[in-house]
A = this chain, B = another copy of it.
Amino acid sequence: MRLMSPPVGLAALTDTDLVGQVARVLTQAVVTGQLAPGAKVVEAGIARELGISRAPVREAARLLEQQGLLVSHPRRGFFVRKLEIRDIDEIYDLRICVECHAALLAAKNLTPANRAALRKQIDVLHETADLEDHARQVEEDYKFHRMIVEIAGSKRLLKVFDDLSSEMRMVIGLIGRLYDDPHRIAQTHEALLEVLEQGHDDIIAARFDYHIAAAWREVGRLVREIPSSTNGVAP
């Protein structure tokens, strides 16, 4: 006898994931610069503001620490991480390493379905290119890159990418503007997809390497251009 209702694809509702929520709030605050680099993150303050106790805040803060957005000095608390030029170099260097590899794997896993998804995302890039919403543009840009890593099919690769992402968002947030013309970015990504579809390892690696390295150069230039006192990036 079967009385149990059949499994319908409902999203498991985890309304009690306070830690996760706090982590999201904090991440947002950091990448938007609402919490400036070097700023102290007072547990009790955050807790009071969110109407909760300190315990979940502490756990969330540890998460962000592991992600590299916060640093903790024992007995002194958590602080928003200050990025130095050297950090930005590390971030992009690792990103090249990870994303080139992901691209190679993705090319092998490319199916009509996810190929279409990538195409669609490029359309989104074109659409948002005319808007003045820079944050949105950055978001869609990353989404494209993330999709490739997803297609690569390695959870660990994706985790590394995601951790890097928040750091990169922080950097972009500090710069305060895009590192390139949004239309050009959309076109570039179109080219990336083509190369991916082509499927030649050397070309894929070289192309992704170049693409990310270009962003690296631009970001580096822009960061150096802004006085460090105003952006929290030390030389």
In the complex, A5 has a CB within 8 A of chain B: no
CB proximity to B under 8 Å, residues A13-53: 14, 16-17, 19
Collect the chain B residues with CB atoms within 8 Å of residue A143's CB.
none
Q: Nearest chain B CB to A64's CB is how many angstroms away?
A: 10
Select the residue from A74, A91, A156 with max chain B CB neighbours within 10 A.
A156
Interface flag for A55 (CB, 8 Å)? yes
Interface residues of A in 86-110 (CB under 8 A from B): 90-91, 93-94, 97-98, 101, 105
Q: Which of B17, B63, B68, B90 is close to A157, meaning CB atoms less than 8 Å apart?
A: B90
Query: Which B residues touch A98, using CB under 8 A?
Result: 97
Main secondary structure of the interface of A (DSSP, over half): helix
Which range holds the interface residue count of chain A? 20 to 34
Chain B residues with CB under 8 Å of A17's CB are 74
Residues of B within 8 A of A90 (CB): 154-157
Q: Give every chain B residue within 8 A of A16 (Cβ-Cβ).
A: 74-75
Closest B residue by C-beta to A19: B62
Instruction: Digitize A46-78: 1 where CB-to-B-CB distance is under 8 Å, 0 elsewhere.
Output: 000000000100110011001010000011000
Distance of A229 from chain B, by nearest CB (Å): 24
Instruction: Tell me whether B156 and A68 are in contact (CB under 8 A).
Output: yes
- Asked if A160 lies at the interface with its beta carbon under 8 angstroms from chain B, I say yes
Residues of B within 8 A of A63 (CB): 62, 66
